[in-house]
Amino acid sequence: MKQIHPQTRLSGFTLTELLVTLAITGILATVAYPLYRDHVRAANLRAAHAALLENAQFMERFYAQRGSFKANSTTWPELPVKEAGGFCIRLNGNPRGARADKFMLKAVAKDHEGEPRVLKLDGGLSAVLCGRSDSRCTDGKAYFGGGGDKECRPFG
């Protein structure tokens, strides 16, 4: 067994140094996490907006070929982009009885608790961000219901 000379000093960290380091790391994490979460939410919203724009272009091409935004009197056409950035994307409103010369696209977060906002885009490419909505990705419909969006403001 090797003996340590009494004047030799062992190197390492003291408990106080470790606790101070942990405290500083905790403070930095507390500040950084909300900023990171907000950044991710904004990026997901931008991805949903890009998907809405792509679907709007599809709808315009569909209208140019058929003279209507509807596939028939009771259904909307199938969108090429159905989800992006954690949002599901569908046309908004029941196609039965809807005008054939207008459409509204809607992106609803799959995790409604983590992201309650919804993004809507009309045929004129005007985007609106709503703070709350009754729409859910899990409702089993091919389209979102027309109402239930609250706290809406222009997006962009």
pLDDT (0 to 100) of residue 3: 66
* pLDDT, position 7: 67
Residue 35 three-state SS: helix
Token pair, residue 107, equals 């992106």
Q: Which of 41, 61, 53 is nearest to 81 (CA)?
A: 53
Closest CA to 120 of 51, 39, 71: 51
pLDDT value of position 1:
59
Identify which of 92, 124, 121, 87 has the alpha carbon closest to the alpha carbon of residue 107.
87
Q: Which residue ranges make up each domain of the chain?
A: 15-154
**pLDDT digit string, tens, across residues 38-63:** 999 999 999 999 999 999 999 999 99
> What pLDDT tens digit does each residue of the chain (156 aa) get?
566 666 666 678 899 999 999 999 999 999 999 999 999 999 999 999 999 999 999 999 999 999 999 999 899 999 999 999 999 999 999 999 888 899 999 999 999 898 999 999 999 999 999 999 999 999 889 999 877 899 999 998
pTM of the model: 0.82
Q: Which fold has domain 15-154?
A: Glycoprotein, Type 4 Pilin (3.30.700)
Q: What pLDDT sits at residue 145?
A: 85
**48 burial via Cβ count (<10 Å: 0-12, 13-18, 19+):** buried
The pLDDT assigned to 119 comes to: 97
**Extended beta strands in 11-135, E state:** 83-84, 87-92, 104-109, 118-122, 127-133
